Amino acid sequence: MTAPPLAEVRSRFARDILARAAVDDPLLLRAFSRTPRERFLGPGPWRVAGPDGYRLTESDDPRDVYVDALVALDASRRINNGEPSAHALWIHVLALAPGDRVDHIGAGTGYYTSILAELVGGRGRVEAFEIDPALAHRAREALAERANVVVHAESGLGRALPVADAIYVNAGATGPDSAWLDALAPGGRLVFPLTGEDGFGGMLKIVRADGDRWPASFVSGAAFVDLIGGREHPTESAVSAAFRRGGTRDVRWLARDGASRDADWLRGEGWRLTG
């Protein structure tokens, strides 16, 4: 039997992952349909994650990577190209529009950077930050045709960032970096994984508003490798304890008022999550 054309495989893949994410978003569907995942994974065969660990694909046929699963970028360090349906949901809640400015922290080799760039179009721009030099080099090569993307081989933490309508973070932190919050334009959206000692936690969305109380809510659970420099050890255990207690649905606000309330779900340095 003749294998289906790759464009057809990508289209079917895009429909499947958006259905899994329960997302109805024609622009995001088109972005996933148009973006060649294999370009960002290196040469095959590839290591695809499953319930029993990685399995090696039988060949270097790119059709093998159009599955809703992690694919290893560096298996020895457990660095992966993330699960597409999860990213579909998280990117969807960023509510990107053509012309938007995006900062992508922890860009890896750039697959989801490319999705973001497709969504914001030629009038928009994506500033991608990847601290690992080898991954950043691969991202630059894979994104060379994207005129609206700049890849920075450096950290996206603790430094002034380009003003952004959306910031998307793909490594686990113990709290929102003040530089991310400061870089958000009015109405700007930050989506990042708040994770504890074991790398597990939740994807948190924060929207910049007037004053010192900004809307905040958890989108879903999340598991990520640690964000280098984004871990405060005293806070890690507090994050893990907060998730064990539950109550994520009660979180409504990020407050930067320096206060403390008994009802706070979690407190960090200069911020708190509260109902």
This prediction's pTM: 0.96
> In the predicted model, what is the mean pLDDT of residues 256-261?
86
pLDDT of 210 strictly over 70: yes
- Residue 26 placed within a domain: no
Say which CATH number the domain at 250 has.
3.40.50.150
pLDDT digits (tens, 9 = 90+) for 39-96: 999 999 999 999 889 999 999 999 999 999 999 999 989 899 999 999 999 999 999 9
pLDDT digits (tens, 9 = 90+) for 226-248: 999 999 888 999 999 999 999 99
- Residue 269 placed within a domain: yes
Q: How many domains does the chain have?
A: 1
- Residue 121 placed within a domain: yes
- Residue 23 placed within a domain: no
String of DSSP letters for the chain: -PPPPHHHHHHHHHHHHHHHTT---HHHHHHHHH--GGGGT-SSS-EEEETTEEEE-SSS-GGGG-SSS-EEEEGGGTEEEPPHHHHHHHHHHT---TT-EEEEES-TTSHHHHHHHHHH-TTSEEEEE--SHHHHHHHHHHTTT-TTEEEESS--SSS----EEEEEE-SBBSS--HHHHHHEEEEEEEEEEEE-TTSEEEEEEEE--SSSEEEEEEEEEEE-PBPTT---HHHHHHHHHHHHH--GGG--EEE-SS---TT-SEEETTEEEE-
pLDDT of 209 strictly over 70: yes
- Residue 58 placed within a domain: no
Which residue range(s) make up the domain with 191? 83-274
- Residue 119 placed within a domain: yes
- Residue 40 placed within a domain: no
- Residue 4 placed within a domain: no
